[in-house]
Amino acid sequence: MAKTSKNVIVTGGASGIGFAIVKRFVASGAHVHVLEVNKENAEKNLSEFGDTVTFHPCDVSDPGQVRTVVDGIAAASPVDILINNAGIAHIGNVENTMPEDMDRLYSVNIKGVYNCMHCVIPHMKKNGGGVILNMASIASSVGILDRFAYSMTKGAVLTMTLSVAKDYLQHNIRCNCISPARIHTPFVDGFLKDNYPGKEDEIFDKLSKTQPIGRMGEPEEVAALAYFLCSDEASFLTGTDYPIDGGFIKLNGQ
């Protein structure tokens, strides 16, 4: 892996895919700033990186908190890369999704991404460019059962990505997004334990087989794609969504 001295911001970087992304960038020599609302996860998981990772307690849905943290990071060193990974899930169709569910999903999955880009882009412009990578989902592109609010938010992430990529071409700012299918994270294990006690293995196998490739993805596989898309080797890539889905979008039902 090529070494880099990039200054990277990762939201929601204390667990799951975000943590794998942090680990990948640290291994490359980058300094990573993790914006994370879950202090317990951050203190437990990020301590292994020492001073190569800086934890910033931050609720990305709060524009004031995001502004304070981002401006502080940028004042110390130029921000090269922003990875908007923080997000929350919801299960439900349009009938059983309540207004408060919509507001909660919007505040983190849409407004959180907006807040971070809104605060980071002026610094990137001032510094001559940068890279933004947003975490979308296969739900941005295809219908997923009982994911009404979640799909709405991830569709917005996809279109925000396209808009930012178009608007900031002249400022040397690239913006792409990744659309994972099911990835085996601690969230999945917790979901199975809470909702299918005693049947965890059975349901895990069933969910794994919804990907044509026959398994869930691993966080490290998403991190590898994220690292490439943010690297100088990907300098010709912008304004595109990159599914990492085991064939889900194109091969299901064929």
Residues marked active site are found at 150
49 and 129 housed in the same domain: yes
Q: Residue 2: inside a domain, yes or no?
A: no
CB neighbours of residue 88 within 10 Å: 17
| Helix or strand (DSSP H, E) at 150 | helix 148-167
Q: What ranges make up the beta strands (E) of the chain?
A: 7-11, 31-36, 53-57, 81-84, 130-135, 173-180, 241-244
127 and 224 housed in the same domain: yes
Q: What are phi and psi of 31, to 5 degrees?
A: -100, 130
Q: Residue 225: inside a domain, yes or no?
A: yes
What tokens appear for 123 in the block?
């610094």
Three-state SS annotation for 45-71: HCHHHHHHEEEEECCCCCHHHHHHHHH
What tokens appear for 102 in the block?
């919509």
Domain residue limits at 83: 7-181+218-244
* Per-position pLDDT tens, the chain of length 254: 556 689 999 999 999 999 999 999 999 999 999 999 999 999 999 999 999 999 999 999 999 999 999 999 999 999 999 999 999 999 999 999 999 999 999 999 999 999 999 999 999 999 999 999 999 999 999 999 999 999 999 999 999 999 999 999 999 999 999 999 999 998 888 888 888 999 999 999 999 998 999 999 999 999 999 999 999 999 999 999 999 999 999 998 54
142 and 212 housed in the same domain: no
| Helix or strand (DSSP H, E) at 103 | helix 99-105
Q: Residue 229: inside a domain, yes or no?
A: yes
- Asked if residues 246 and 184 have their Cβ atoms less than 8 Å apart, the reply is no
| CA-based nearest residue to 161, from 108, 69, 84 | 84
Q: Residue 250: inside a domain, yes or no?
A: no
* CATH number (domain holding residue 79): 3.40.50.720
74 and 95 housed in the same domain: yes
169 and 235 housed in the same domain: yes
Chain centre to alpha carbon of residue 160? 14
168 and 191 housed in the same domain: no
Q: Residue 83: inside a domain, yes or no?
A: yes
Alpha carbon distance 215, 204 (integer Å) = 9
92 and 202 housed in the same domain: no
Q: What residues have CB less than 8 Å from 167, skipping those under 6 apart?
A: none
pLDDT of 187 reads 83
54 and 139 housed in the same domain: yes
